Structure 1
Amino acid sequence: MQKLAPFSLAQPPAIFSGFPQLLLHGIRTSANHHDFSSTRPFPDYSPKKPTIRDEEVVHQISTTIKLRRSEPLVQVLKPIETRFRADHLIWVLIKIRRDFRLAMDFFNWARARRRLSAEARCIIIHIALACKKPKAAYQFVREFVSECDNDVDSLDHFVDKVIYTYKEWGSNPLVFDIFFRVLAEFGMVEDTLKFFERLLNYGYLISTDSCNFILVHLVKTGKIELANKVFNELAEEGVCWNTESYNIMIHGVCKSGNLSDGRELLIRMEANGCSPDVISYSTIIDGYCRCGELQSALEIMKEMTDQGLRPNAFTYCSVMVVLCKNKRMVEAKELLREMMNNGIVPDSVVYTALIDGFCKDGNLREAYELVDEMKQRVMELDVVAYTALMSGLCRVGKMVEAEDLFQEMIRKGINPDEVAYTSLVDGYCKQHKMKEAFHLHSQMLQEGLAPNIVTYTALADGLCKKGEVETANELLHEISSRGMQLNVCTYNSLVNGLCKAGNLEEARKLMAEMKGAGKFPDAVTYTTLMDAYCKLGMIEEAYNFLKDMLDEGLQPTVVTFNVLMNAYCASGRLEDGRHLLNWMVQKHIMPNATTYNSMLKLHCINSDMRASSQIIKEMREMGVQPDENTYNILIKGHSKARNMKEACYFHGEMANKGLKLRASTYNALIIGLCKRRRVAEAMRLLEEMRMNGLIPDRDVYNRFIDLSYHYGDMELTLELCDEVVEKCLTGKEHQENSYVA
């Protein structure tokens, strides 16, 4: 056991903040379940009697140290030092016991020169408590317990002496609580409980506040079952657990994932007369949040407010973090405002969680508004917040802005970590800027940072997307030879690269290699291969991969089904697509707009607009909202079928939602209006299209050139002729002549 430094009052232990209340505790004989009828009294103290010569030495020492002025003890006791024996200490302490400072100084002088007995050590503890110095007593107990690792000063012997000296040297029961706490802090569980039982024999019950220390130790070390056993057994012995006790246990069971036990403890504490406080509820809320059970967390939060308790910063932070992870950013922002309205100032952890959530949601405007709020509150962004912003910028391809943030972070003295570097590396790789990505990789190494598997996966993915699959493979073999374990994402990047290169046989071999390396293919692996086979028209092969997934116990995602759905519909196999949709629903996989768009596209190609209306109705019944692609498909379909009323209706609905038409959709809508001789509306759409930077196709230009010439508007005719030559006849036209799924 670690030996502590010599005793000093310079740094009192913070653990004593609750000890003044404990001075009120005495020997308990009520409000408990232990039978004290068979208890025995504390033993009488009978110290060894000094000889006449000893009495002379003791008198000389006590007189000398009492009469000294500013001289140090070392100096005034120098003449007596050779005659001093360890036994003299106790006899001197008897004479100076009312002066703690003097007693402590003499004790420290004595133990620097002689080996002191356990009895003498216990006496100085009692003296400290008698002089109302509990912090000093605590420090002495810690020192002495830490040294009880030999036969002479064994722990049992020390306990005997604490009890033996108790009656004569102060009779302050706080000594037992201090001793109990120290044993608990040292993790000596068995000795702590043995000490508890021994004191019961003398009719003394350790205070609840002290008993909490053993619970804290057991919970901190993850011994939840033992903590629960101690909790129940000490209650049977008469310990009346308080709110803090229950909170410790709630924290323990929630930490181990037993949230139902946490809720049971909440009910139990109320039944035992303890009122749950904000910590009780917040601990359970945090437990549910960590397990991703957001709804349960929100229910407990409501229950808490119904009890008249206001959430604290920890409560709000727990819920907001999980809301952000679930991309429920509107609710997270509302909770932030509620928190601030309740007078609770959010800290950097809360702001960083929200910034990260908005960045991952693609809402950089909201993220930067929060950054401005932080600056107004004089809060500095840390490496986590900077990394979240950089990742958000990289995600939307704003690499210049991301690089500027990276340099700003360095200028402010914030050292980028592996995650910060990797976010930039990934951003450059996604834009196929491999030179910049590898430069950052080299910079990481120069800074003494170790690129991790995520960094190398990003690099391999970037190389694969540029068609450099062999280079990516060499890179990964190199890092693998250095002992770095490839993960599923890394293998998936290579599989994707091989599929894009059309090398499906190698992709399948790599899939088998994954299994051999103990990295089993996931839904992404299978979906990537299915997509590659579908694009080659090998739909049955892709379907077999879906069956293999299910045989392996993997749950297909909506993307997996969408790949197959798109292939069926693109090849005109609408009935197979409908069967696949029904199968999805049976598997409890919610279809999304992309799922329905594949079917919608086929109906529009076949000009079956009644069937397309049925698809829209079915989508809305399933709670699936049409996306931008849905509207583009519908408008093009209705325009080509000359259903201009419906086409214009969907165009208006699309505009109200802030969604944008594609060039091909504008073209179809304009031509449809022209065919219905609604030229003014068509002209307005043409102007809108040109203002949005989109280029009409040659058919649209030809129609408006003819119309402007027919109406004698030569200026517009010549302008359109110049434009069509520039945009359509010089190879600069923007082509988008097909439905996009």
Structure 2
Amino acid sequence: MKKGTTFALRSFIQLFSFNARKLSSSSITDTTRPFPDYSPKKPSVRDTELVHQIANAIKLRRAEPLRRSLKPYECKFKTDHLIWVLMKIRSDYNLVLDFFEWARSRRDSTLEALCIVTHLAVASKDLNVAYSLVSSFWERPKLSVNDSFVQFFDLLVYTYKDWGSDPNVFDVFFRVLVEFGMLREARKVFEKMLSYGLVLSVDSCNLYLSKEKTGTAVIVFKEFPEVGVCWNVASYNIVIHCVCQLGRVSEAHHLLVLMELKGYIPDVVSYSTVINGYCRFGELEKVWKLIEVMREKGLKPNSYTYGSVILLLCRSCKLAEAEEAFREMIGDGIVPDNVVYTTLIDGFCKGGNIKAASKFFYEMLSLDIAPDIVTYTAIISGFCRVGDMVEAGKLFHEMICRGLEPDSVTFTEVINGYCKAGEIKEAFSVHNRMIQAGCSPNVVTYTALIDGLCKEGDLDSANDLLHEMWKIGLQPNLFTYNSIVNGLCKSGNIEEAIKLVGEFEAAGINPDAVTYTTLMDAYCKSGEMSKAQEVLKEMLGRGLEPTVVTFNVLMNGFCLNGMLEDGEKLLNWMLAKGIAPNATTYNSLVKLYCVRGDVKAAAAVYKDMCAREVGPDGKTYENLIRGHCKARNMKEAWFLYRGMVEKGFRVSAGTYSDLIKGFFKRKKFVEAREVFEQMKREGIAADKEIFDFFSDTKLKGRRKTDTVVDPVDDIIEREYVESRHCKEAVGDDVLLRELS
């Protein structure tokens, strides 16, 4: 062990074992209190005779139900008789239970009688019945908690010496108090038992430790050994968990080392708890080291360990490593549960890989692991993110058919998905269904609908919905207002948007980076770059930190308005200030270079972004392919197309068209046809201009020879004929417009 580590551990041991708060003076005494003698009320002669008759009837007619054998005595039986009869039959435990239940069914038993039967149950090692008896007292209407607790405990002590003398009865009593959340009373029992020379079992103390507040549990862990409690591995695991909950994972790790130094052997729970703590704080390197130590000690990670690691990897967007850990988990013979699968599904959905998420979802179903509402919400949300509302709607319906009721989160995800896809009618249909299901829409739900309406340009309906929110008592938040600001900007009402910003600011809601970025975007698209830069200055003046999106908006504005030098300066400034540009930042420059026909400069930008480990996205490839196709650099365009496909990016109809046109211009008809065939396999419809390219090629082939060289597929022929019929049906001027 390294010197620094040893010093840190020593300091921790001192911290953990010094200056602990002492137990109250009543709990640590020099002399042990004796349990009192039991002296019940004496029966009268008449009562003695009745008790004798009842006891004989119970013993001699035990084969009969008590309700029949004791029928003659019911009218004379009183509460006082219960204890006297119990004294007669105490040696027969089963008879005691039957008689006690008979008595309780006819009139309330005394607390003293309940304590007596509890003692007898514990003495007979029937701890479950003892637990049930004590619990029954706290489940019924009673006096104040403190008064009833004192009465019960005092009577339990009073009856102890004569009716059981088994200290486990106090363990049962203590456990019931803890389970019912009466921790203060449980602590008093612990301290009172010390005065009688008894220490509660470590299992009972562990239960108390696990239920206490995290900070208090740590204090209790320090205190109890001073009065005789010998903690075990489970105890250490509980307090390690508490320390992790307090966010002090390093201390929890030191405690793991300390327990081993004290002779306790940490188990898989000990290690997994600390690993989970490090996972919560994203300490992946420490996680791997601890797993390695764990394996060296012959301990295999369990499902909890793997679940924690997989969750961290998914949150860190290390999805390939998450899947690798998942497969390793299966290789270790651990069957993944619903939680692990849901974590992976959610992680891959948020990472944009809906295909992988679907694979895990259907793998889960094939293993008969039932998805719950969280699982369905995750996969539905994933399809909503990529705009596949057909599949999202299908899964939403499937979830309901399985008897799973959508909650507000699920409904809102579906509504938001439809809104983003521009399917406002469907969004409101789900909204109505949400209300009919008794699930109240929240601010997020309304914001999604308002955002959808604003994007459709229906600002009046968005405003009506805003008033509806106020009417039902929901306060619009910044996201709601930002949606309306965005809608106003898109409709060209920038001044109205600025006015709205002033209004919600006056109401105490301060604009954020999104608000200012939206206004900047509007000015950029309207060509007012100076005003966009003024908005940026105001934003900075308010102490708001611009995001990469803010700079992307400015970059897009420069490039849209042909201000290439300003765009280049902005990129260099971002790099100099340590602001990491993303693919969108570079895409604006690539697009402008390609529009200007400078594909060499566009390629240089592409190389620079790759060198800086900024992964190109689909738009990067589309822009470069279009630029190279226009410059007739088909070799480079084809290379980029192959890279785009290999990386899993969806190729758009426009990109396919650019490639086909480029190959035709270079008279590479075989390559053009190959691209066209791939386009058809992807289910992407070609426009009329592409069909014309192929038809013109066919006609030229027919003029040269009597046979058709490389005829087009039947589907192409049919669509080509249909396109010709369409052309004949419209005027020449319309046809020219379509072709252009």
State the Cα distance separating 1:506 from its structure 2 match: 0.9
Shift of 1:542: 1.9
Counterpart for residue 61 of structure 2: 68
Pair 1:366 & 2:359 matched: no
Relative to 1, partners in 2 of residues 1:186 and 1:509: Cα closer, same or farther, differing over 3 Å? same
CA distance in 1, matches of 2:566, 2:607: 20
The Cα shift of 1:474 comes to 1.9
Paired with 1:113 and 1:170, the residues of 2 have a C-alpha distance of 26
Equivalent in the alignment of 2:735: 730
CA distance in 2 between counterparts of 1:296 and 1:520 reads 40
Moved more, 534-543 or 116-125: 116-125
Which of 74, 93, 100 does residue 93 from structure 2 map onto?
A: 100
Deviation at 1:121, TM superposition (A): 3.8
Residues 206-355 of structure 1 correspond to what in structure 2 (within 5 A)? Answer: 206-218=200-212, 223-289=213-279, 300-355=290-345
Of 127, 131, 140, which residue of structure 1 is paired with 2:124? Answer: 131
CA displacement, residues 135-194 of structure 1 (integer Å, 9 cap, x when unaligned): 222223334466773799854354344334333333212112112222323333333223
The residue matched to 2:159 in structure 1 has which SS?
A: helix
By how many angstroms is 1:501 displaced?
0.6
Write out per-residue CA displacement over residues 268-308 of structure 1, whole angstroms, 9 at most, x where no aligned residue. 43333333333333344445555666666555545544443
Deviation at 1:615, TM superposition (A): 3.3
Counterpart of 2:673 (choices 680, 684, 687) is 687
Letter paired with 2:166: N
Deviation of 1:509 (Å)? 1.7
Distance 1:521 1:397 in 2: 29
* Residue 407 to residue 586, structure 1, CA distance change in 2 (3 Å): same
Contact 1:636–1:669 (8 Å) recurs in 2: no
Alpha-carbon distance change, 377 to 506 in structure 1, aligned in 2, over 3 angstroms: same
Counterpart amino acid of residue 99 in structure 1: D
- Aligned partners of 1:665, 1:316: CA distance in 2, in Å? 43
Work out the CA distance in 2 between the residues paired with 1:92 and 1:648.
99
1:190 aligns with 2:156: no
Distance 1:64 1:186 in 2: 39
Equivalents in 2 of 1:83, 1:482: separation in Å?
Answer: 64
* Residues 416-425 or 135-144, more deviating: 416-425
Q: How many residues align?
A: 691
**3-state SS in 1 of match to 2:527:** coil
- Contact kept? 2:28, 2:195, Cα under 8 Å: no
Separation of aligned partners in 1, 2:490 and 2:414:
24
Distance 2:438 2:145 in 1: 50
Q: Which letter maps to 2:62?
A: R
**2-side partners of 1:446 and 1:594: how far apart?**
42
Aligned runs of 1:344-423 on 2, under 5 Å?
344-423=334-413
- 1:536 matches 2:522: no
Q: How much is the aligned-residue C-alpha RMSD, in angstroms?
A: 4.4
Alignment check: 8 A CA contact 2:625 2:655 kept: no
Choose the corresponding residue for 2:175, options 177, 181, 184: 181
Alignment match, 2:3: none
Give the drift of 1:233.
1.3
1:666/1:685 contact within 8 Å kept: no
User: Normalising by the residue count of structure 1, what TM-score does the alignment of the two structures yield?
Assistant: 0.79
Q: 1:140 aligns with which of 133, 145, 148?
A: 133
1:469 paired to 2:462: no
Structure 2 Cα separation of the partners of residues 349 and 121 of structure 1: 44
CA–CA separation in structure 2 for the residues paired with 1:254 and 1:100 = 47
Amino acid at match of 2:208: I
Deviation at 1:592, TM superposition (A): 1.3
| Sequence identity (%) | 50
- Counterpart secondary structure, 1:493: helix
How far does residue 209 in structure 1 lie from its aligned partner after superposition? Answer: 0.5
- Which string of whole-angstrom CA distances, capped at 9 and with x for unpartnered residues, describes residues 4-29 of structure 1? xxxxxxxxxxxxxxxxxxxxxxxxxx
1:531, distance to aligned residue in structure 2 (A): 1.0
Matched, 1:460 2:450: yes
1:695–1:733 CA contact under 8 A, matched in 2: no
* Cα deviation 1:96-119 (Å, max 9, x = unaligned): 221012223344455667776655
Give distance in 1, aligned partners of 2:379 and 2:672: 38
**Preserved contact between residue 663 and residue 672 of structure 2 (Cα < 8 Å):** no
Aligned equivalent of 1:510: 500
Q: Does the 8 A contact of 1:149 with 1:155 survive in 2?
A: no
- Hey, what's the Cα distance between the residues in 2 that align with 1:51 and 1:153? 31
Q: Distance in 1 between matches of 2:504 and 2:48?
A: 86
Distance 1:152 1:639 in 2: 85
Q: Determine the structure 1 residue equivalent to 2:489.
A: 499
Q: Matches of 1:144 and 1:251 in 2, distance apart?
A: 33
SS at match of 2:162: coil
**TM-superposed deviation, 1:649:** 5.6
Structure 2 distance, partners of 1:734, 1:301, is: 64
Q: What displacement does 1:527 show?
A: 1.8
Amino acid at match of 1:544: E
Structure with greater helix percent: 2
What amino acid sits opposite 1:129 in the alignment?
A: V
1:353 Cα deviation after fit: 3.6
- Structure 1 residue 529 displacement after superposition: 1.4
Indicate how the Cα distance of structure 1 residues 731 and 248 shifts in structure 2: closer, same or farther if over 3 A, else same: farther
Matched, 1:205 2:199: yes
Q: Which amino acid aligns with 1:179?
A: F
Which residue does the alignment assign to 2:5? Answer: none
Contact 1:45/1:164, CA 8 A, preserved across alignment: yes
The answer as to whether partners of 1:697 and 1:728 remain within 8 angstroms in 2 is no
SS, match of residue 167 in structure 1? helix
Q: Given the alignment, which residue of 469, 476, 494 partners 1:479? A: 469
Q: Which amino acid aligns with 2:118?
A: I
Deviates more, 1:688-697 or 1:177-186: 688-697
Instruction: Sort the Cα spacing of 1:268 and 1:484 in 2 relative to 1 into closer, same or farther, 3 A.
Output: same
Residue 503 of structure 1, CA deviation:
0.5
Relative to 1, partners in 2 of residues 1:57 and 1:439: Cα closer, same or farther, differing over 3 Å? closer
**Contact in 1 for aligned 2:214/2:245 (Cα 8 Å):** no
Instruction: Indicate if the aligned counterparts of 1:584 and 1:590 stay in contact, CA closer than 8 A.
Output: yes
Q: Distance in 2 between matches of 1:628 and 1:87?
A: 87
Could you list the per-position Cα deviations for residues 609-665 of structure 1 after superposition, in whole angstroms to 9, with x for gaps in the alignment?
Answer: 665555344323321133344345445556777877766665665565466587579
Task: Give the CA deviation at 1:387.
Answer: 4.2
Conserved in 2, the CA contact under 8 Å of 1:689 and 1:695? no
**Contact 2:632–2:662 at 8 Å: present in 1 too?**
no
For 2:399 and 2:201, the matched residues in 1 are separated by 52
Match in the other structure for 2:9: none
> Structure 2: which 5+ runs fail to align?
1-26, 680-684
Residues 172 and 335 of structure 1: CA distance in aligned 2, closer, same or farther (over 3 Å): same
Given that residues 663 and 689 in structure 1 are in contact (C-alpha distance below 8 angstroms), is that contact kept between their aligned partners in structure 2? no
Could you list the per-position Cα deviations for residues 350-383 of structure 1 after superposition, in whole angstroms to 9, with x for gaps in the alignment? Answer: 3344334444444444344334323432344444
- State the match for 2:535 in structure 1: 545
* Equivalent position SS for 2:190: helix
Aligned to 1:18: none
Tell whether the 8 Å contact from 2:434 to 2:440 is kept in structure 1 after alignment: yes
Instruction: Call closer, same or farther: CA 1:493–1:305 in 2, change over 3 Å.
Output: farther
> Normalising by structure 2, what TM-score?
0.79
Alpha-carbon spacing, 1:641–1:407, altered in 2? closer, same or farther (3 Å): closer
> Please, which of 428, 431, 441 is the counterpart of residue 431 of structure 2?
441
Shift of 1:564: 1.0
Q: Is the 8 A contact 1:460 1:493 kept in 2?
A: yes
In the superposition, relative to structure 1, how do residues 37 and 586 fare at CA in structure 2: closer, same or farther (>3 Å)? Answer: farther
Shift of 1:314: 3.3
